[in-house]
């Protein structure tokens, strides 16, 4: 990784820190004539007519961390993601008219937060409709602008209410400078903040201010996890004297690059070289865990419009850590809710107990849907939309979502699926080997151009050759049941793969890269398949460290 040049004069640590802590405002947020303004709520003295949306939600003027001026509106007591601050704008904004809206929002949660600026109104039939005007993600401890310069309130709308919500979670947050102006008015606001290692105050440069902050909070609690993660330049998990020494040498130009990441020693994994199916204890693994993770509902821009996925975050998820990640797909006639919310799956409980019992390390599991694009063709949506969205928000081994960083972290990324999700797994394998190393096809063969078993196996081998990978750089662990309706098609393909030099058959991935497990008597049913995941997942992510 290259170094960051120091910009501007380097002042003393004490002076730089004093300047940082005394600064409370950024660029002016209003860049239009007063005549263009419909309302501007600065929250310096009162709540400007904003109230709480949702039971228990409270709003109050706060002098702590305003974006502009002396006050901001603190929103607390939220019980759901749609709870937040709201303002009735029926008396000042007309239906069928376009306006420019802007609100600045900030959250000091340990996780980055995606805010939505939304509008609720009643249509001509009296039905309440909810619409989103703007969306933006902010790093912990930074303001973000939610702005739409040309939003038209639908004709016939009544009881219009403007409100701010989050895509997930119920953490308290602040809003400031809520503005409505004539359509087309450009309202200035905080600029997007990008995470950079070493840039503790996220101002775009690494300088004495960052050094002062790292030194001040070393060994104690940083104001937020983003600051701590940035200060930990050697990525050891703690901000210590090694990091401080690097800042000193970097600011005096004795160092020009980041230190090599500190990696803990990796103990060899105790593989079973010929793994066979063994079921978990359902009375234990399907019960509620004392160390339960969290399932978060997320939305992203799919190829055919707004699309939903779910993200499992392990107990104690900490954005300052790095996590392996599995994308796990549903079957035909199912959707992104199947893996966590159907009685035959309940995978979150299984993952909770596997992590709690030490069966596997804490990891992130994502359940998208291939329903917009089709199972065979999901690889493009995965690469272009799903992975950038998820790994741009949650902490994985990818330093960024740039192609080079996704490729560099491929040994920490897996993809699998059941039935049509298994078919999608083969499609992803043949198109995403550069960014994914581990694959889990469950009860489904490679389906393409009516290929026979030999052609299917050959297509997978050709994709591996095209990617230029060595035999210890990709891993496939497939499974099905002997009575599974997919077994008669999947097994011939697996037998053909056994004949090809690209595949070394063993479930000890330190010695090979391919294993196929058949569970005696098991059928095409999630109640069986979830046991395959339990068997397979602990064998992933031990190679290529």
Task: Answer whether residue 7 shows pLDDT above 80.
Answer: no
Burial class of 246 by CB neighbour count within 10 A (0 to 12, 13 to 18, 19+): buried
Q: CA gyration radius for the chain?
A: 26
Q: Which DSSP state fits 507?
A: S
| Calpha distance 454→463 (Å, rounded) | 14
CATH of 282-539, one of 3.40.50.970, 3.40.50.1820, 3.40.50.1100, 3.40.30.120: 3.40.50.1820
Query: What is the DSSP pairing of strand 363-367 with strand 324-329?
Result: parallel
Give the end-to-end CA distance of the chain in Å, rounded to a whole number: 18
The answer to whether 211 touches 217, Cβ cutoff 8 Å, is: no
Dihedral sign for Cα atoms in the order 221, 224, 226, 230: negative
CB 73 within 8 A of CB 59: yes
Judge whether 32-182 and 282-539 match in fold. no
Q: Check: CB of residue 14 under 8 Å from CB of residue 211.
A: no
- pLDDT digit string, tens, across residues 473-492: 999 999 999 999 999 999 99
In 254-390, at which residue ranges do the beta strands (DSSP E only) sit? 294-302, 305-313, 324-329, 363-367
pTM of the model: 0.60
Q: What is the pLDDT of residue 333?
A: 94
Q: Does the pLDDT of residue 140 top 90, yes or no?
A: no
Mean pLDDT of the chain: 89
Q: Is 123 exposed, middle or buried (0-12, 13-18, 19+ CB in 10 A)?
A: middle
Instruction: Count the neighbouring beta carbons within 10 Å of the beta carbon of residue 229.
Output: 24
Average the pLDDT over 50-58 and give the result.
93
What pLDDT, in 10s, does the model give residues 27-44? Answer: 445 555 566 899 999 999
What CATH number labels 32-182? 2.60.120.260
Split at pLDDT 50, 70, 90, the class of 445 is: very high
Left (φ > 0), alpha (ψ -120 to 50) or beta: where does 54 sit?
left
- Nearest CA-CA partner of 514 in 460, 465, 468, 467: 460
**For the segment 67-82, what is each residue's pLDDT rounded down to a tens digit?**
999 999 999 999 888 9
Q: Is the pLDDT of residue 337 over 90?
A: yes
413 token code pair: 């990324």
Percent share of the chain, pLDDT over 70: 92
The fraction of the chain above a pLDDT of 90, given in percent, is 75
The topology (CATH level 3) of 13-18+194-251 is: Type 1 dockerin domain (1.10.1330)
Contact of 519 with 510, CB cutoff 8 Å: no
More confident residue, 224 or 305: 305
Confidence band, pLDDT 50/70/90 cuts, at residue 12? very low
Question: With 50 as the cut, is the pLDDT of residue 18 above it?
Answer: no
**Using an 8 Å Cβ cutoff, are 531 and 280 in contact?**
yes
What is the pLDDT, as a whole number, of residue 401?
92
pLDDT tens digits for 272-329? Answer: 999 999 999 999 999 999 999 999 999 999 998 899 999 999 999 988 789 999 999 9
User: How high is the pLDDT of residue 319?
Assistant: 82
Question: For residues 315, 316, 319 and 321, what is the CA-based torsion angle, rounded to 10 degrees?
Answer: -100
**Confidence class of residue 228 from pLDDT cuts 50, 70 and 90?**
confident
Minimum mean pLDDT range among 259-273, 280-294, 362-376, 391-405: 259-273
| 455 burial type by CB count under 10 A (0-12 exposed, 13-18 middle, 19+ buried) | middle
162 within 8 A of 89, measured Cβ to Cβ: yes
For residues 519 and 531, what is the distance between their CA atoms, to the nearest angstrom? 10
DSSP type of residue 14: H
- Where do the domains of the chain lie? 13-18+194-251, 32-182, 282-539
User: What pLDDT does 545 receive?
Assistant: 65
| Predicted confidence (pLDDT) per residue in 173-205, tens digit | 999 999 999 999 999 999 877 778 999 988 889
- Average pLDDT (508-525) is 96
Handedness of CA 435, 438, 441, 445 (dihedral sign): positive
The mean pLDDT of 235-262, rounded to a whole number, is 91
Q: Is residue 24's pLDDT more than 60? A: no
**DSSP one-letter code for 322:** -
Cα separation, 212 vs 203, in Å, equals: 14
Confidence of residue 21 (pLDDT cuts 50, 70, 90): very low
């Amino acid at each position: 990784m290259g170094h960051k040049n120091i910009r501007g004069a380097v002042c003393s640590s004490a002076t730089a820190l004093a300047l940082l802590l005394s600064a409370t405002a950024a660029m002016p947020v209003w860049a239009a004539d007063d005549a263009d303004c419909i309302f501007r709520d600065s929250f310096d003295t009162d709540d400007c007519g904003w109230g709480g949306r949702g039971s228990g939600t409270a709003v109050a003027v706060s002098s702590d961390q305003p974006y502009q001026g002396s006050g901001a509106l603190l929103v607390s007591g939220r019980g759901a993601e749609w709870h937040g601050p709201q303002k009735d704008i029926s008396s000042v904004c007309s239906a069928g008219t376009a306006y420019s809206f802007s609100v600045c929002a900030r959250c000091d949660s340990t996780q980055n937060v995606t805010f939505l600026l939304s509008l609720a109104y009643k249509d001509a039939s009296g039905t309440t409709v909810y619409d989103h005007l703007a969306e933006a993600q902010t790093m912990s401890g930074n303001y973000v602008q939610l702005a739409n310069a040309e939003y038209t309130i639908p004709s016939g709308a009544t009881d219009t209410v403007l409100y701010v919500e989050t895509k997930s979670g119920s953490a308290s947050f602040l809003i400031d400078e809520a503005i409505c102006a004539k359509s087309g008015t450009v309202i200035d606001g905080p600029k997007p903040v990008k995470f950079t290692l070493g840039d503790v105050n996220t101002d775009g440069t690494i300088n004495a201010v960052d050094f002062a902050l790292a030194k001040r909070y070393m060994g104690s609690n940083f104001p937020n996890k983003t600051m701590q993660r940035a200060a930990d330049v050697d990525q050891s998990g703690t901000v210590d004297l090694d990091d401080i020494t690097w800042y000193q040498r970097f600011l005096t130009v004795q160092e020009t690059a980041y230190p090599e990441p500190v990696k803990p020693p990796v103990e060899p994994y105790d593989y079973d070289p010929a793994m066979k199916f063994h079921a978990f204890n359902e009375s234990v693994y399907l019960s509620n865990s004392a160390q339960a993770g969290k399932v978060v509902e997320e939305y992203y821009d799919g190829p055919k419009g707004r699309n939903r996925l779910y993200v499992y975050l392990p107990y104690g998820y900490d954005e300052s850590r790095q996590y392996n990640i599995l994308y796990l797909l549903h079957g035909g006639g199912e959707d992104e809710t199947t893996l966590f919310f159907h009685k035959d799956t309940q995978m979150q409980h299984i993952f909770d107990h596997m992590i709690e019992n030490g069966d596997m390390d804490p990891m992130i599991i994502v359940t998208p849907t291939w329903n917009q694009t089709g199972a065979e063709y999901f690889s493009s949506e995965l690469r272009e939309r799903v992975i950038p969205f998820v790994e741009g928000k949650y902490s994985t081994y990818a330093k960024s979502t740039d192609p080079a960083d996704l490729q560099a972290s491929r040994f920490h990324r897996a993809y699998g699926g059941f039935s049509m999700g298994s078919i999608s797994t083969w499609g992803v394998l043949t198109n995403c080997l550069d960014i994914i190393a581990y694959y889990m096809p469950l009860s489904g063969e490679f389906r393409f151009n009516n290929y026979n078993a030999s052609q299917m196996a050959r297509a997978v081998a050709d994709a591996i050759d095209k990617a230029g990978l060595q035999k210890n750089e990709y891993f496939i662990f497939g499974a099905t049941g002997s009575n599974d309706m997919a077994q008669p098609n999947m097994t011939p393909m697996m037998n053909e793969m056994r004949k090809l030099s690209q595949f070394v058959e063993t479930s000890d991935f330190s010695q090979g890269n391919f294993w196929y497990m058949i569970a005696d008597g098991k059928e095409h049913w999630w109640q069986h398949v979830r046991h395959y995941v339990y068997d397979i997942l602990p064998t992933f992510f031990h190679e290529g460290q």
